[in-house]
Amino acid sequence: MTEPAAGHPTSRRGFLKLGAAGTAAALSRPLPVGAAGKTITILHESSFIKPFDEYVVNTLGPAYEKETGIKINYEVTSVGSLPTRISTIAETGSGADITENGLLQVTQFGDKYLDVSDIAEDIGKAQGGWYDAGREAALVEGKWKAIPFSNIGQLMNWRTDWFAEVGVKKFPETWEELYEVGKKLKAKDHPFGFELGHGFGDNHGWLYPLLWSYGGAEVAPDGKIVVIDSDETARAVDFSRKFFKDTMLDDVLGWTDVSNNKAWMAEQISCTNNAESILWFAKREFPEIGKVTGQAMNPAGPKGRFHLLDSISHSIFSFSPVREEARLFMRWLMEPKQLGGWYAIAESYYQPLLHGYDNAPMWSVEPRNLPYRDALANAHLPGWPAPANRQLAESVAKYVVVDMFAKACAGASTKEVIKNAEAQLKGIYRAA
Amino acid sequence: MTITSERLPVLVRAARRRAPLRVLLDRQSVFSWLMMALPLAFLAAFVGYPFFYGILLSLQDRPIGHSGTFVGLKNFVTDLHDAIFWQVAINTFVYTGVATLLKMVGGLGLALAMNQHFRMKNLVRALLLLPFIVPTVLSTVAWLWMLDPAFSVVNRLLVALGWPKPGPSWLGDPMLAMASIIIINTWRGLPFYGITLLAGLQTVPPELYDAAAIDGAGGWQRFRFITLPLLRPIILIVTLFSVIFTFADFQLVYVLTHGGPQNATHLFATYAFDIAMGAGQLGLGASVALAMLPTLALLIVALTIYMRRD
């Protein structure tokens, strides 16, 4: 829990600060009366990129305080605990004023968040427009309940040296081509490793795109009719089975999110699907592996190429006592000067959802990350084309799609696994 | 007349009320309740309240961050139609049953061995408690590495002994994954059994063994007719505790497999957590968690009756 705002104007300390800051704050836009001296608390999950968090604490926060007299309290919560923290705040109605969201929280907590449509539209107009993925991540029933910050995409990671050994210099364009390469590499004791267990990111990261690229989907765009039982899904499942059997390690069925990173650094696998952290970590800790780690967009299927949108965004709690101040802060934070600096410090780990950054210098730091930018064009939330809602959250929590593929890979028939998934989805969507 | 006669009892009552606190405290019933008040309040706040709140939740459609609406037993009906729920139920029973049995037999063996005299007995006894003392999450992470095919000590050994590379996939195969979590749970819970039963063994009067030996009883007979009957109450208590802990286990599975592969290791606690926190449905999650209750309650009642009868 956060401390109650130390600089509340009614407290003595707050009052003194208010007086001191009063002259310094040459405000570029009108702040509510008595805003100076208040504190805005932002909840953020601890970043994989350490300087990213430090940038708020050491640069952005102090700069804003100098400008307005409002103190920024940047509260970091451990990786994985963000949803639980947001629930606690939403349940108790107290805690942080602004929170970071992972991909499903915007819809889950949408009615606890302020409508920030005006801010989001203004930012979009000023900075080249939002990617569609940005809208998908933040709009709840037509209203912006969050201001998109970035995607933390998932791409194909491939060992360029081992692929070269079987004559492949450029990452395969389609799943079928990748499969052929994988067969050769497995024969050379360089199998693939794609998570099929109960992690969170790296299983959904390739399985949803695989399903979509064959034309399959869980639910129709109306968010009501279950459409998983289709020939398209069946083809995706059939592909996954042979892809698993002929290219991968058996162990992937039990993998969680850390497993492929470990296997990568142990030089056990030649291809996987992961976020940028794998290259980042390899470059820092295993430079030799870093040199031969390539990144590429997901292969295409018969119906196109897709990626998983793993967006993060910021929302303001509607019950926050400083919500008006928080609105102004979000406007300030999303100005190119602040936002650009914050993106740049993390190189391209956080991929902006604004077109204004498509050619920003951050992209030239590591050209291997460019596919992350290009992947934004066809990135979607889990459950797409249906809207992300509580039924979808339940499907994800029950690993319906992941286990459909995993069971097929473990030997069950395509028909059986699709029937199971359909029954589960019908249960989930009927219960609503 | 009537006025005075009515005054008298009032006065008497007033005098009684002014009886010193000391007298009140001297009364055993008052004092014992006073002593119990704090623990009772503690239980009510930290066990009673969450318990009844859990029941209330299970009867509601209660998305996280929103107020709930009463839906009666709908959540339980949903559970009964959920294939994963049934798989989770079977998993939990298998996990609890096998792990408890292994711990019971192993713990008894351990206690019997530790009851012998040998050098550095106390040191060995202290070391035995280690698996129980190390925080579960920590020791489970260690197991995670030990079972990882790339780094696994177990697999390297098996491969060295001629098993085809890369060795079994401990956490990728549904059966092996269940076996793995059972083994780790047993490893962790064995010392609890061992040390408790050892304490029990030490209360068995040595004269009984002497007398039995004089009557010509062998080692097995002494164990069967002296040790086991005298240990029985302790075995029952330890088993009761162990079953409860194992049935409601969470950390081990959450760290090791998160219920995978394909729900093969999902237990009531991990599944309830995923539904409540992952899917954001507190009501449905609570109903999954409460599904544990009847079994545990029955077990406790049965064991209590059994012990009373003795």
Q: Kindly report the nearest CA distance between residue A143 and chain B, in angstroms.
A: 19
For an interface test with A, which of B87, B170, B262 has the most A Cβ atoms less than 10 Å from its Cβ?
A: B262
| Residue type, position B106, single letter | G
pLDDT on residue B108: 92
Is a pLDDT exceeding 90 seen at residue B106?
A: yes
Strand order through the sheet with A39-45: A71-77, A39-45, A98-101, A311-316, A147-151, A351-352
Q: What is the mean pLDDT of each run of 10 residues along chain A (432 residues)?
A: 38 37 42 78 92 95 94 92 88 93 88 95 95 94 95 96 96 97 96 94 95 96 94 97 96 90 93 94 95 97 96 96 95 94 91 94 92 95 90 92 96 96 92 56
Is a pLDDT exceeding 60 seen at residue B235?
A: yes
pLDDT on residue A311: 93
pLDDT on residue B236: 86
pLDDT on residue B233: 86
Given the DSSP bridges, would you call strands A271-274 and A98-101 parallel, antiparallel or unpaired?
unpaired
Q: Residue A154: in which H helix or E strand, if any?
A: none
Query: Closest chain A residue to B278 measured between Cα atoms?
Result: A397
Contact B64 A268 (CB under 8 A): no
Q: Kindly report the nearest CA distance between residue A414 and chain B, in angstroms.
A: 15
Question: Which tens digits make up the pLDDT trace of B161-220?
Answer: 988 877 888 999 999 999 999 999 999 999 989 999 999 998 888 888 889 888 888 888
Contacts of A71 (CB under 8 A, 6+ apart): A6, A7, A37, A38, A39, A40, A61, A65
Is a pLDDT exceeding 80 seen at residue B11?
A: no
Which residues of A lie inside 8 Å of B (Cβ-Cβ)?
83-84, 87, 90-91, 108-109, 111-112, 196-199, 249-256, 259, 262-263, 266, 268, 390, 393-394, 396-399, 403, 406-407, 410, 420, 423-424, 427, 431
- Residues from chain B that touch A112, judged by Cβ atoms under 8 A, are 65
**Nearest CB partner across the interface for A197, out of B63, B64, B261:** B261
pTM (2 decimals)?
0.86
Contact B150 A262 (CB under 8 A): yes
Q: Kindly indicate the confidence band of residue B64, based on its pLDDT and cuts at 50, 70 and 90.
A: confident
Contacts of A371 (CB under 8 A, 6+ apart): A155, A295, A296, A297
pLDDT, chain B, mean: 86
Contact A87 B64 (CB under 8 A): yes
Contact A198 B258 (CB under 8 A): yes
Distance between CA atoms of B15 and B13, rounded to whole angstroms?
A: 5
Q: Give the DSSP per-residue string, A278-306.
A: HHHHHHHH-HHHHHTEEEEPPPBBTTB--
**Nearest CB partner across the interface for A251, out of B84, B149, B280:** B149
pLDDT on residue A257: 87
- Residues from chain A that touch B78, judged by Cβ atoms under 8 A, are 427, 431
Alpha-carbon distances, residue A411 vs A237, A423, B85, B249 (angstroms)? 11, 19, 22, 29
Given the DSSP bridges, would you call strands B60-61 and B69-70 parallel, antiparallel or unpaired?
antiparallel
Distance between CA atoms of B268 and B101, rounded to whole angstroms?
A: 20
pLDDT on residue A431: 60
Q: Kindly report the nearest CA distance between residue A335 and chain B, in angstroms.
A: 31
Domains of chain A: 12-152+310-366 (3.40.190.10), 155-308+389-431 (3.40.190.10)
Q: Is A273 helix (H, G, I), strand (E, B) or coil?
A: strand
pLDDT on residue A409: 96
Of A262, A261, A297, the residue nearest A278 (C-alpha): A261
pLDDT on residue A371: 95
Q: How far from each other are the two terminal CA atoms of chain B, in whole angstroms?
A: 66
Contact B278 A393 (CB under 8 A): yes
pLDDT on residue B151: 74
Q: How many of the other CB atoms lie within 10 Å of CB of B6?
A: 9
CA angle A192, A350, A212 (to 5 degrees): 50
Distance between CA atoms of A279 and A261, rounded to whole angstroms?
A: 10
pLDDT on residue A239: 98
- Identify the bridge partners of residue A351 per DSSP, sorted by sequence position: A151
**Nearest CB partner across the interface for B257, out of A197, A393, A397:** A197
User: Where do the domains of chain B lie?
Assistant: 2-58, 82-309
pLDDT on residue A5: 39
CATH of domain B82-309: 1.10.3720.10
Distance between CA atoms of A273 and A312, rounded to whole angstroms?
A: 19
pLDDT on residue B185: 95
pLDDT on residue A373: 95
pLDDT on residue A79: 84
Whether B208 has its CB under 8 Å from any CB of chain A: the answer is no
